[in-house]
A and B are shown apart, each in its own frame.
Chain A
Amino acid sequence: MLSQFGFILLFIVGAFLMLAGILGMARLLRPDKPNDQKLLSYESGENAEGGSLVSFNIRFYVIALIFVLFEVELVFLFPWSVVFGDKQLIEQTNGLWGWFSMAEMFVFIFILSLGLVYAWAQGHLDWLRPDQKVNPFKSEIPSDLYENINKKYS
C-alpha cells in the first residue's frame, strides 16, 4: 500500500526535512548580532507602529483576492506543464496532444482573464483617490493687493 500515498508521504517528509535543514544550516553559518532595527518586522521599509487591529482600506481585499486567483492559476500551470510535455503521449497522438493540452490551458486562462476583465470593467482595479476639492471661495480682495503688501515689506 506504499504505492501512491507513500510517495506523497515521502514528499511531505522530504519538504519538512529540507526546510529544517536549510534553516538549521543558516543558523549555524550566520553571525548573530541582533539590534533594534534588525528585529523590526519588515513592512515595505516603513516602521510598524501602533496595534495591528486597525481598520484599513477595503480595496486591499479586492486586489488581494484577484492576486490570489492568479497565484492559484499558476499552481495549475505546473502540473499541466508536466503533462503537456509528455513525450510518450505526444508520440502516441501524433503531436495532437500538445495542441489539445495547449488549447485547453488557453481556454482556462481565457476564462480567468475574463474574470479579470470583468473586475476591471467593474472598476475594482481603480485605486480611487479622494477627489481634490477646489475651494470655490472667491475673495473680494484682489490678489495683487497681497502681492503689493508683500513687495512693500519684503
Chain B
Amino acid sequence: MYPILFLSFSGLITLFLGFFQEGKWVKPATILFLAIASISAFIDWNKPGAYFFNMLQVNNFNLLLSLVILITAILIVAISDNFKEIEYAHSAEYYAIMQFSLVGAIMMTNFQSLIMLFLGVEILSVSMYVLTGTDKRNLRGNEAAIKYFLLGAFATGILLFGIAMIYGGVGAFEIDAISGTLASNQAQSLFLYIGLVMLLIGLLFKLAAAPFHFWTPDVYEGAPTIFTLFMATIVKTAVVFALYRILHQSFQNMHLSWSYILAGCIALSLIIGNLSAVKQISFKRMLAFSSISHAGFLLLGLLHVSKTADKSLLFYSVSYLLASTSAFGVLLALKNERTENGRSNENISVFKGLATRSPFLSAVLIISMLSLAGIPLTGGFWSKFYVLTDAANDQFFYLIVLALLLTAVGVYYYFKPIITVFEKSDIQEAITINPIFKIIFVLTTLGTLVLGLFPDLLYGMI
C-alpha cells in the first residue's frame, strides 16, 4: 500500500523537478523515488491485511509482486536517457507518468475490490496511451497511440461492463465475497457468467492474448522502445497477476467454465504469436509477436488451479522481465548506430557484426534470446517447464503438445537475431556502451543465468 501512496506524491514532485536545471535531476530522482517506494513496501512485510475499506489486500506474495514491478521499473528507468531523441520532449512528464502508471500496476496486483482493479487498469492504460504517443513528430507513434487508445477504450468498456454484471450477479465487488458466493453451491445468476466472460476479455486484451492481440504489433513498433519495454514487462506482469487473483482466488469454483475460454485463447496466442513472428523484419515487431506467444504461456500457467500456479507465474514473469529488458536494452544501446531518415533503425539487421564490434552486447543479446526461446541453462527454460508441468496436471495435453511444437518454431525466429550477430558487417569500429547500461545488462544477464542454473533460488523462495 505504501508504494502506492508514495509514488502518487513522488510523481507530482517529479513533475515540478522538471523546472529546475533543465530537468537533469529528474532521472536520478525517479530512480531514488522508485527505490524508496520499493523499501516502503517492506513496512507491511509479514503484516497481511486490508486497506482502504477492504479494497486493497496486502500480503507477502502481493508485496513481492509490487517489488518485482518496482525493481523492473528501476531497471527500465535506468536505461532510459531523458528522451533526447524526441523533439519537444517533456521528460519530467514522462517520468512522472511512469510513476503514476506503476501506481496502477501495483493496484492491479493488490486489489481486493473489483473497483480497485478497474482503477488500476485505467491508471495504467491511460498512462500507457500517453507514453505511447510521446514522440509527437513520429507518425507511427501517433498512429500507435490513437490505435491503442481506441482499442483500449473499447476493452476497458467491456471490462467495466463485466464488473457491473458481476456486481449485478453477486451484489459485491470484493473477490472474497464473490468466491464465497460461488462456494455456496447455489445456482448462480447468469449475470455472473456474462460478467466473468466480459471481465476476462477486458483483461486478455490488456495482456495481448489472441484474439485480442491486434493492437500489440502496431503499438509495440510505434511506441518509443523504452515504453515498449515498459508495456512488455510491467503491464504484462500486472495483468497476469490481476487475472491470477480473479481466476484463482475468486472464480476458482467456475474453473470448468473459464478454462475453456483460456484454452482457446492460449491455442490462438501460441499459434498466431509464434507463426507471425517468423516473417518479421523489425526486431520490435518480432518481440511484439513473441510477447503474444508469451502471453499464451502465461495463461497456460493460469489454466490449472493449483498451489504452485503463483510460483510458476512469478518465475515466468521474472525470467521474461529479465530477458525482455536485455533484448530491448540492446536495441536501445544500438539506437544511434544506424539511422534511417533521422530515426533509429529497429530492424533485426542492426545487429549485424555485433559479435566483433561488441562481444559484450552480443553475449547479452544471445542469452536473452536463448532465454526467450526457452533453452536450458537460462531462466526461460525453467519458466516454460514449470508452466507446462502445471498445465499437465489438468489433462490439457493437446495444449502442451501444441506449446512444445510452437516452441520449436520460436527457436527458429529467436535465432535470427543470434545469426545476424555473427554476420559480417561493413562497420568495424567498436561500440562504446554507457556504464549504466553495462551494469543493467550484467544484472539482467546474470539474473537470467542464475535462474537457469539455480531455479529454486527463486522458485523455492516464494
* A touches B (Cβ under 8 A): yes
Asked if residues B19 and A111 are in contact (CB atoms below 8 Å), the reply is no
Q: Which residues of A contact B12 (CB under 8 A)?
A: 111, 114
Q: Which residues of A contact B415 (CB under 8 A)?
A: none
Instruction: Report the separation of the CA atoms of residues A122 and B16 in the bound assembly, to the nearest whole angstrom.
Output: 10
Chain B, residue nearest A4 (CB): B171
Within 8 A of B (CB), among A101-119: 111, 114, 118
Contact of B15 with A by CB under 8 A: yes
Q: Which residues of A contact B19 (CB under 8 A)?
A: 121
User: What does DSSP make chain A's interface, helix, strand, loop or mixed?
Assistant: helix
Instruction: Report the separation of the CA atoms of residues A121 and B92 in the bound assembly, to the nearest whole angstrom.
Output: 13
Q: Which residues of B contact A121 (CB under 8 A)?
A: 16, 19
- Total interface residues in chain A, CB < 8 Å: 5
Chain B, residue nearest A114 (CB): B12
Q: Which residues of B contact A118 (CB under 8 A)?
A: 15-16
Within 8 A of A (CB), among B75-98: 90
Q: Which residues of A contact B16 (CB under 8 A)?
A: 114, 118, 121
Q: Which residues of A contact B90 (CB under 8 A)?
A: 122
Instruction: Report the separation of the CA atoms of residues A126 and B90 in the bound assembly, to the nearest whole angstrom.
Output: 18
1/0 per position for B1-39, CB-CB distance to A under 8 A? 000000000001001100100000000000000000000
Q: Which residues of A contact B15 (CB under 8 A)?
A: 114, 118
Chain A, residue nearest B96 (CB): A118
Give the shortest distance, in Å, between A128 (CB) and chain B (any CB): 15
Instruction: Report the separation of the CA atoms of residues A8 and B16 in the bound assembly, to the nearest whole angstrom.
Output: 42
Within 8 A of B (CB), among A83-125: 111, 114, 118, 121-122
Chain B, residue nearest A122 (CB): B90
Instruction: Report the separation of the CA atoms of residues A118 and B16 in the bound assembly, to the nearest whole angstrom.
Output: 7
Instruction: Report the separation of the CA atoms of residues A118 and B96 in the bound assembly, to the nearest whole angstrom.
Output: 12
Give the shortest distance, in Å, between B149 (CB) and chain A (any CB): 15
Q: Which residues of B contact A111 (CB under 8 A)?
A: 12
Give the shortest distance, in Å, between B100 (CB) and chain A (any CB): 12
Give the shortest distance, in Å, between B168 (CB) and chain A (any CB): 9
Chain B, residue nearest A5 (CB): B168
Chain B, residue nearest A121 (CB): B19
Instruction: Report the separation of the CA atoms of residues A122 and B23 in the bound assembly, to the nearest whole angstrom.
Output: 13
Instruction: Report the separation of the CA atoms of residues A111 and B90 in the bound assembly, to the nearest whole angstrom.
Output: 20
Instruction: Report the separation of the CA atoms of residues A67 and B52 in the bound assembly, to the nearest whole angstrom.
Output: 30
Chain A, residue nearest B12 (CB): A114
Q: Which residues of B contact A122 (CB under 8 A)?
A: 90
Give the shortest distance, in Å, between A8 (CB) and chain B (any CB): 13
Give the shortest distance, in Å, between B367 (CB) and chain A (any CB): 42
Give the shortest distance, in Å, between A57 (CB) and chain B (any CB): 17
Give the shortest distance, in Å, between B14 (CB) and chain A (any CB): 11
Give the shortest distance, in Å, between B169 (CB) and chain A (any CB): 12
Instruction: Report the separation of the CA atoms of residues A45 and B16 in the bound assembly, to the nearest whole angstrom.
Output: 40
Give the shortest distance, in Å, between A90 (CB) and chain B (any CB): 19
Instruction: Report the separation of the CA atoms of residues A107 and B12 in the bound assembly, to the nearest whole angstrom.
Output: 13
Residue of A114, A118, A121 contacting most chain B CB atoms (<10 Å): A118
Instruction: Report the separation of the CA atoms of residues A114 and B17 in the bound assembly, to the nearest whole angstrom.
Output: 13
Instruction: Report the separation of the CA atoms of residues A114 and B10 in the bound assembly, to the nearest whole angstrom.
Output: 13
Within 8 A of A (CB), among B28-78: none
Instruction: Report the separation of the CA atoms of residues A114 and B8 in the bound assembly, to the nearest whole angstrom.
Output: 13
Give the shortest distance, in Å, between B453 (CB) and chain A (any CB): 47
Give the shortest distance, in Å, between B144 (CB) and chain A (any CB): 21
Instruction: Report the separation of the CA atoms of residues A20 and B56 in the bound assembly, to the nearest whole angstrom.
Output: 44
Instruction: Report the separation of the CA atoms of residues A36 and B416 in the bound assembly, to the nearest whole angstrom.
Output: 72
Chain A, residue nearest B9 (CB): A111
Give the shortest distance, in Å, between B173 (CB) and chain A (any CB): 14
Give the shortest distance, in Å, between A102 (CB) and chain B (any CB): 19
Instruction: Report the separation of the CA atoms of residues A130 and B15 in the bound assembly, to the nearest whole angstrom.
Output: 29
Give the shortest distance, in Å, between A76 (CB) and chain B (any CB): 15
Give the shortest distance, in Å, between A147 (CB) and chain B (any CB): 49
Give the shortest distance, in Å, between A56 (CB) and chain B (any CB): 19
Give the shortest distance, in Å, between A125 (CB) and chain B (any CB): 15
Instruction: Report the separation of the CA atoms of residues A114 and B9 in the bound assembly, to the nearest whole angstrom.
Output: 11
Give the shortest distance, in Å, between A69 (CB) and chain B (any CB): 14
Instruction: Report the separation of the CA atoms of residues A111 and B8 in the bound assembly, to the nearest whole angstrom.
Output: 10
Within 8 A of B (CB), among A4-38: none
Give the shortest distance, in Å, between A100 (CB) and chain B (any CB): 14
Instruction: Report the separation of the CA atoms of residues A121 and B16 in the bound assembly, to the nearest whole angstrom.
Output: 9
5 inter-chain pairs at a CB distance below 8 angstroms, sorted by A residue, are A114-B16, A118-B15, A118-B16, A121-B19, A122-B90
The 9 closest A-B pairs by CB, nearest first: A118-B15, A114-B12, A121-B19, A118-B16, A111-B12, A121-B16, A114-B15, A114-B16, A122-B90
Q: A121-B16, A121-B19 are in contact. List 7 more A-B contacts (CB 8 A).
A: A111-B12, A114-B12, A114-B15, A114-B16, A118-B15, A118-B16, A122-B90
